[in-house]
Amino acid sequence: MLGRLGYPPAIVYKRDRDKYLRAMRRADRAEYGPLGELIARSVTDNLHKFVIPAVAGPVKLVPLAALTTEDISENALRVAATRGRLRAVKGDDGAWRSSKKWVDQYLASRYERR
């Protein structure tokens, strides 16, 4: 229904099912905060994961959350940026930004344990 009204996608993952059901029960009792927060977090996560990388392309700077993959987490990217191993820029807001191209270069140069 939200998509039809022009809102961005909100994907609630299976791992969040219990939180979603609890939030729905609370919404039935007129406590809408938890459900609103869950939907807002889902929208934000999906924007970072799908929309921003698709729009930005390989060379534009985006938040590290938008550059995570199965191989590397946001925390690992932040540590690499802090240590100077990943080319990244820290904005005035304190958030690290990098590009898909820079992350690919970092992943190619990274030492992997065997």
Asked whether residue 8 is assigned to any structural domain, the reply reads: no
Task: Tally the domains of the chain.
Answer: 2
Together in a domain, 44 and 71 = no
Amino acid 95: pLDDT: 87
Domain around 77: 58-114
Together in a domain, 52 and 62 = no
pLDDT digits (tens, 9 = 90+) for 94-106: 889 999 999 999 9
Asked whether residue 6 is assigned to any structural domain, the reply reads: no
pTM value surpassing 0.75 = no
Amino acid 11: pLDDT: 84
Together in a domain, 62 and 113 = yes
| Helical H segments across the chain, by residue range | 17-28, 33-46, 52-56, 74-82, 100-109
Which residues of the chain, if any, have pLDDT below 50? none
Amino acid 69: pLDDT: 86
Amino acid 60: pLDDT: 85
Together in a domain, 23 and 41 = yes
Together in a domain, 103 and 62 = yes
